[in-house]
Amino acid sequence: MTNTKYSRQRESICHYLSNTKEHPTADMVYQNLREVYPNISLGTVYRNLSLLVDQGTIVKVSCGDGVDHFDWDTSSHNHFICKECGCVLDLEMDSINHINTIANAAFDGQIEGSVTYFYGKCSKCK
């Protein structure tokens, strides 16, 4: 794909993701977009989500619950996953950015990045 054309559907996916603090799954995006585009296809959602991930516009959050979540916020931050209700929350933690440097020191390959997931109970479930 040499060039990317505009599409209302992709625009709408971006709009939805940029206006939620949740970390929706492909299916959540699909269910939501159907209210605006009743005959949008799940395939379109998946295709655009992975395209946006490749572009670096959004971030894929694979927190281990078997479903991929997506996050509009591409800035360096971490995620918390509630063991109780399964919600995914943002967690600001600048102080752990140094771990890559530490890790690289004790590793004979090349570490380019890292992802940390925190688990426990959210304020509601506590």
* List of residues contacting DNA (CB under 7 A): 1-10, 25-27, 37, 39-44, 46-48, 50-51, 66-68
Alpha-carbon distance of 121 to 124, in angstroms, equals 8
What DSSP letter does each residue of 12-72 carry, written as one string? HHHHHHHT-SS--BHHHHHHHHTTTSTT--HHHHHHHHHHHHHHTSSEEE--SSSS-EEES
Whole-number minimum distance, CB 74 to DNA, in Å? Answer: 19
**110 near a second copy (CB under 8 A):** yes
Q: Residue 107 or residue 119: which is nearer to DNA going by CB?
A: 119
Give the distance from CA 37 to its chain's centroid: 22
Q: Residue 11 or residue 22: which is nearer to a second copy going by CB?
A: 22
Alpha-carbon distance of 4 to 47, in angstroms, equals 13
With CB under 5 to 8 Å by kind, the binding choice for 28 among a second copy, DNA, none is: none
List the end-to-end C-alpha distance of the chain, in Å, as a whole number. 47
Please give the residues from 47 up to 66 whose contact with a second copy meets the rule CB under 8 A.
60, 62-64
Contact residues toward a second copy (CB under 8 A) are 60, 62-64, 78, 80, 82-83, 89, 91-93, 95-96, 99-100, 102-103, 106-123, 125-126
